[in-house]
Structure 1
């Protein structure tokens, strides 16, 4: 990968900053400074630690009003809410499939992955169980009993969930199938929106994280290490896919910083938070040497970025970080 890694004083500042973060929960110094103009990180702190031993590997983030977020927990099969003060509340724990599971494509065990919040405040999440009637888009309900809104085929691995409010639909990446599905927001039948070859996996995961931005659907391809832009046609269909960034092997989720098409990307495989410029060049802001462990998701709200570490491939500190963004 053509990533620029922190060196010298910048490495020392990054290490000391995150060491203080892990020890005290906050640091006022910049955790790392990019070598090129663009978004920088200011204060970085741990907002919440999760119980990794209980399966709480943080996977995805949905922003809520007031500074709170909702997070999907992979093997714990949970959706949790993290309040602004860092307190954690379990909203849903999905039951395992009959027989205990083990049939989810590639990953085996049943998992909760993407989460999303609609404009009306409804919360949705993805459950992949390797079985029909369980795999699909579910809604969190105040009664505590989740509701299956959109079933997906048992052989899919739904990963990222996005609500396209303009078109009243869900979009879902299928990581093992290399596809993006669409379904009505009110529920019903899902259909394949795009099966472009740029979304296809190599040996594990293809299309993973996804966002709608700048008149297009953007998706990361984990195996190919790419970010793909698919323009939206006037009718909401897919245009011709184009690769906008390469060299990002293991990319998981990502989000836009508010600076055009600049992106902050979570690189799960190498435990990195990477800034991707509009021209596709990229550099590491935080990495494993800074305490990152299986970085999974990014969500930006104004001048703040939420970052999850799932500790699913390395380490044992599954957490939610909060960082200030400084644009130069």
Structure 2
């Protein structure tokens, strides 16, 4: 990606995400609570398009992340060093027809114990948009085509049933596909998944026999039961008023969640009853947080600096009372 292309891409991100409200959730109060040893562990290069969008943590503590504007997947070691694992092919038209944003971007990421990494890629073109698989020692391969007029965003792995669930933030759809790839099935098109002016269904996680999904525009956290025969149940709103909610993770305390709120520049702890408390903010180094992950008691938070345009980074912390 040339320096000029990076600048154009960053400008597009800033203009698109500026539509998000910057207010904190009305029902949130500030209190660090369970997080200790908070520090920015890794700084990324904004000029190179290194806007980290999503994260999955490997068994050795390495963070596999997607760089939205760089079309890249990177590995960040426990020591904080960054290595590019793969760069996905650029669309011939430069990605100008990618819905809403107008540039190609890598989004959701997940991994399996054998080292396989799955990545979502949106380009606005039929030949590249979809689910990609990265196997050790092999070139990236698209294994599922997704609609070019959509924006695949969140990716959740159901390891037990060897299935993946994919949120589309523009089409308001959850797709499902086997981990082997193939033709996707529209698992849910419930109205609660739809956008309301910008981006709808976003982050996705499997927990307790259900798919949990955030809706960025509507500020909601949804639970969609997985019924017999892999049918989608009706969405249940588990939290609301979460302005700019992006990706999230479960802490291990019932259905308690740590969620990234992008424009408000905070991470909140959402209790099982739907109330929330702010546990991280800009004073901790957050720069438009996009994704949260947990491995043991280690918390990982990505910041993409979409609107702050300053210091995209990976923040690390310790979760003190996760059980």
Tell me whether 1:243 sits opposite 2:224 in the alignment.
Answer: no
State the alpha-carbon separation in 2 of the partners of residues 86 and 105 from structure 1. 33
Q: 4+ runs of 1 displaced by more than 4 Å?
A: none
Q: Which residue of 1 aligns with 2:271?
A: 277
Report the CA distance between 1:135 and its aligned residue.
0.2
Aligned-partner Cα distance in 2 for 1:269–1:93: 27
Q: Deviations over 1:198-239 (max 9, x none)?
A: 111100111000100111100000000000001111222111
The one of 53, 56, 74 equivalent to 2:50 is 56
Partner of 1:29: none
Provide the rounded CA distance (Å) in 1 between the counterparts of 2:138 and 2:45.
Answer: 21
Q: Is the 8 A contact 2:29 2:276 kept in 1?
A: no
Superposed CA RMSD in Å reads: 1.3
Partner of 2:225: 231
Deviations along 1:269-295, one digit per CA (max 9) or x if unpaired, are 111100000000001111124331110
Post-superposition offset of 1:95: 2.4
CA distance in 2, matches of 1:4, 1:263: 14
Cα distance change of structure 1 residues 203 and 287 upon mapping to structure 2, 3 Å threshold: same
Equivalent residue in structure 1 for 2:155, among 161, 180, 186: 161
| Paired residue secondary structure (2:60) | helix
> How do residues 4-23 of structure 1 correspond to structure 2 at under 5 angstroms?
4-6=28-30
Give me the whole-angstrom Cα distance separating, in 1, the residues matched to 2:83 and 2:138.
12
What is the CA deviation profile of residues 27-67 of structure 1, one whole-angstrom value per residue up to 9, with x for unaligned ones? xxxxx524xxxxx1011122211111111001101110111
Q: How does 1:67-216 map to 2 (within 5 A)?
A: 67-143=61-137, 145-216=139-210
Contact 2:246–2:259 (8 Å) recurs in 1? yes
Higher mean C-alpha displacement, 128-137 vs 311-320: 311-320
Given that 1:77 and 1:93 are in contact with CA atoms closer than 8 Å, whether structure 2 keeps it comes out as yes
Whether 1:288 and 2:312 are equivalent positions in the alignment is no
Could you list the runs of 5+ residues in structure 2 that have no partner in the other structure? 1-24
- CA deviation after TM superposition for structure 1 residue 3, in Å: 4.1
- How far 1:121 sits from its partner (Å)? 1.9
Query: Paired residue for 1:304?
Result: 298
